[in-house]
Amino acid sequence: MSDELTELVIEEADEKMAKAIERVQHEFAGVRTGRANSGLVEHLLVDYYGTPTPLRQIAAFSVPEARLLVISPFDKASMGAIEKAIQSTDLGLSPSNDGVVMRLAFPALTEERRRDFVKIVRNKAEDGKVALRNIRRSARHDLDVLVKDEGLSTDVTERAEAVIQKMTDAAIDRVDALLAQKEAELLEV
């Protein structure tokens, strides 16, 4: 019985850590690298007939060139709302609207802007690491509750804590690897 309970705590922590890593990847996708990437705008909320709707639900994306993103709305009447949503972001992009599709040209990044993006990415990575440590702390708390309420032995909890610590270390290493990859991508000229 006690092994099953500790396994549940470990599995729950593992699932939460995987979701935290996915969140970091998603956050990184939203940071511009000088190349066209739909990840920058697909989550933008567009006022679509009075309802805030993610852009990916009302338009298709294509990248015909390295620095050009083409947005094709399913409903041409939403073109103005999409343009307004893009202009209200801090991406520094000005959309070109021809009534059928919207084009976003991505200018080359300056060295200073690249450094700013690296700082942003590092902050997002640190936030991800904090989330992972909080998951570890929560799992340890759950184990302490099992010791108190279920009479779980300290040997079992120490083994479970060791497993959770290894999972945390591996997850933090994964975030560091993602950070290094994104930094290299940002600093690439």
Q: Is the pLDDT of residue 50 over 90?
A: no
Report the pLDDT value the prediction gives residue 86, as an integer from 0 to 100: 85
- CA dist 120 and 24 (Å) reads 12
Please name the residues in contact with 11: beta carbons below 8 A apart, sequence gap of 6 or more: none
Q: Which residue has the tokens 């947005």?
A: 71
Q: Is the pLDDT of residue 126 over 80?
A: yes
Report the pLDDT value the prediction gives residue 189, as an integer from 0 to 100: 63
- Write the burial class of residue 100 (CB in 10 Å: 0-12 exposed, 13-18 middle, 19+ buried): exposed
Confidence band for 95, pLDDT divided at 50, 70 and 90? confident
* Fold category of 2-30+110-187 in CATH: Topoisomerase I; Chain A, domain 4 (1.10.132)
Could you tell me where in the chain the CATH 1.10.132.20 domains are found?
Answer: 2-30+110-187
Report the pLDDT value the prediction gives residue 35, as an integer from 0 to 100: 72
* Fold category of 38-105 in CATH: Gyrase A; domain 2 (3.30.1360)
Longest dimension (CA), the chain: 69
pTM: 0.70
Q: How many CA atoms lie within 13 A of 73 on its CB side?
A: 21
The pairs formed by 43-47 with CB atoms below 8 angstroms and a separation of 24 or more are 44/85, 44/86, 44/89, 45/85, 46/78, 46/81, 46/82, 46/85, 47/81, 47/84, 47/85
Report the pLDDT value the prediction gives residue 4, as an integer from 0 to 100: 84
Report the pLDDT value the prediction gives residue 105, as an integer from 0 to 100: 84
Q: How many CA atoms lie within 13 A of 167 on its CB side?
A: 26
Distances (CA, A) of 79 to 42, 50, 75, 76, 185: 14, 14, 8, 6, 31
Confidence band for 100, pLDDT divided at 50, 70 and 90? confident
Q: Is the pLDDT of residue 181 over 70?
A: yes
The residues pairing with 158 across neighbouring beta strands, listed in sequence order, are none
Q: Is the pLDDT of residue 1 over 80?
A: no
Could you tell me where in the chain the CATH 3.30.1360.40 domains are found?
Answer: 38-105
Task: Please write the tens of the pLDDT for every residue from 4-44.
Answer: 888 999 999 999 999 999 999 988 887 766 677 777 788 88
